Amino acid sequence: MKPAVLVARAVFPEVVERLRHHFDVEVNSDDRIFNKAELVERLHGKVGVFATGSVAIDAEVLDANPQLKVVANMAVGYDNLDVPACTARGVLCTNTPDVLTESTADFGFALMMATARRVTESEHYLRRGEWSKWSYDLFVGSDIHGSTLGILGMGRIGQAIARRGAHGFGMRVIYHNRSRISDAIEAECKARYVDKPTLLRESDHLMIVMPYSKETHHSVGAAELAMMKPTATLTNIARGGIVDDAALATALAARQIAAAGLDVFEGEPRVHPDLLKVSNVVLTPHIASATVATRLAMANLAADNLIAGLGFGPRSGKPPTPINPEVLRQ
């Protein structure tokens, strides 16, 4: 009898077929987001789960399913997983880094440009039938080329955005990170390390790409927004909760900063109602990695991790991207 696994959200059929070679697979074909009680029930008897960011695995879920051995997250971020609780119970957690870096950086740049050049705002104006003539100040925005790009968080995606800005648009790139990157990577990205207040004060376009944790919750709130230029834009493609959405909506309404572009939100898929009331914000539904090739690569990497983590396939016992590899050593 094959071991049983749960695919907790709908995913590419060809990836499910890969899993069926090794496992008895239960698929959430309706793509419902399970509440905790439903998730606990669906995990009964399952040794592995193919998860996404909307699937929360915590101590309560784990204790109700002590047979669970591997949680394969189809995402880079894993704030939906209680990793210490998993580690304490010998449950391996994995994620899908690298495969989405370039696509996410492309989208981050696109969102920043749409924000700076008021693309959404002007399209809505046109669709409402309000465009009657050209004028010199019609939806004037701010330049990307030659401006200062500030990056909060300088991991793989931050570095990819820095390269686009410095090499493609002649931007002056500054960044702040928990730890400074190497001199070689700084040179490659043409990026200069600064402290956080300097980053906020000097950025024409602030891009947020840092991981979410309890420590980074509301890293950009009212005090930080007050330090930014009134002509500056803010783009968040990282995680909801890093930015205080209520404070941002207030700052946008008061034109304390010029505009914002948001792909992630606190409590998504809910969006703070005040963000829906301001015109100077571009809103997208967490789609930074949403190309067919990238999402398929993410799904296949999650499947690779689940298969190897449960002792099957050519990488048996050696999943490609473990979050808590100490479990493997145990």
In contact, 283 and 98? CB cutoff 8 Å? no
| Buried-state track 135-160, b at ≥16 Cβ within 10 A, e below 16 | eeeeeebbebeebbbbbbbbbbbbbb
CA–CA distance from 128 to each of 78, 124, 133 (Å)? 41, 6, 14
Angle between helices 156-163 and 101-116 (to 10 degrees): 50
- Label residue 68 exposed, middle or buried (CB < 10 Å: 0-12, 13-18, 19+): buried
Q: What is the arrangement of strands in the sheet containing 172-176, beginning at the earlier edge strand? A: 191-193, 172-176, 148-152, 205-208, 233-236, 259-262, 281-283
Cis peptide preceding 269, ω within 30 of 0: yes
**Inter-residue contact 264 to 237 (CB < 8 Å):** yes
Give catalytic residues, as residue numbers: 239, 268, 286
Sequence-distant (≥ 6) Cβ neighbours of residue 327 within 8 angstroms: 86, 87, 90, 91, 92, 93
Tokens 């700084």 map to which residue? Answer: 186
Q: Which two tokens stand for residue 186?
A: 């700084």
Nearest-angstrom CA–CA distance, 153 and 264: 16
Count H helices and E strands in the chain, helices first. Answer: 14, 12
Identify any residues that bridge with 79 across adjacent strands, giving them in sequence order.
Answer: none
Written as six digits, the tokens of 248 are: 């941002």
Taking the alpha carbons at both ends of the chain, their separation in whole angstroms is 26
- Amino acid found at 47: V
